[in-house]
Structure 1
């Protein structure tokens, strides 16, 4: 009987090891998926005629006020809001509000309706 228990425990350990290895491979696969991150400064609507009038030096007025949080999207889904910072002479975004996973799922459900 002790031998059967030993064999059973060994099989369980082997299955657990395979599962851990499989999970690690799956995680590696997920970590290598490319995502598109974009930051939205603001939006506006314009007529084609107004678009055709644009030239160098034209100013396009956006719907956001200076100092308002920027919206951070991953694959066109809102994931956070933040503020502009400068890092090594390049623009960056300091996240001030990260959308919770539950709220992200709710927004996806709302889009489908």
Structure 2
């Protein structure tokens, strides 16, 4: 039986108990990467790289890093250290509309 419009129960998000398909989606692994910067290089320069070489990137020190999920930009953030490991503090999350635009 459908809930009448405006009924509070119809506005609640479905939980995994309500929807087994949602539970399956919530278990899908995603690749998360953080991009420090980018550059272009010709093959000759690539072959010249050795230990101690420095590759200059397009970002300035202190600029937000880009957080990508499955190679799609979803947020920006800054580096933090957590228990002697690197982490990212989110400073800006891309709006759902912007994320949808990336898909097309």
The TM-score bracket by the shorter chain reads 0.7 to 0.9
Match of 2:25 among 17, 30, 33: 30
Q: Which ranges of structure 2 fall in alignment gaps of 5 or more residues?
A: 3-14
Deviation at 1:24, TM superposition (A): 2.4
Does 2:61 match 1:66?
yes
**In the comparison of the two structures, how many residue pairs are matched?**
92
Q: Distance in 2 between matches of 1:74 and 1:97?
A: 15
Corresponding residue number in structure 2 for 1:5: none
Structure 1 length as normaliser, TM-score?
Answer: 0.76
Task: Indicate the structure (1 or 2) with the bigger Cα radius of gyration.
Answer: 1
Give CA deviations for 1:56-98 in whole Å, capped at 9, x if unaligned: 1100000000000000000000000000111111111000000
Q: Distance in 2 between matches of 1:92 and 1:41?
A: 13
Kept after mapping to 1: 8 A contact 2:16/2:23: no
Q: Runs ≥4 in structure 1, deviation > 2 angstroms?
A: 20-24
Q: Which structure features the higher share of helix residues?
A: 1
| SS of alignment partner, residue 27 of structure 1 | helix
| SS of alignment partner, residue 19 of structure 2 | helix
Corresponding residue number in structure 1 for 2:80: 85
Deviation at 1:107, TM superposition (A): 2.3
Q: Distance in 1 between matches of 2:16 and 2:90?
A: 34
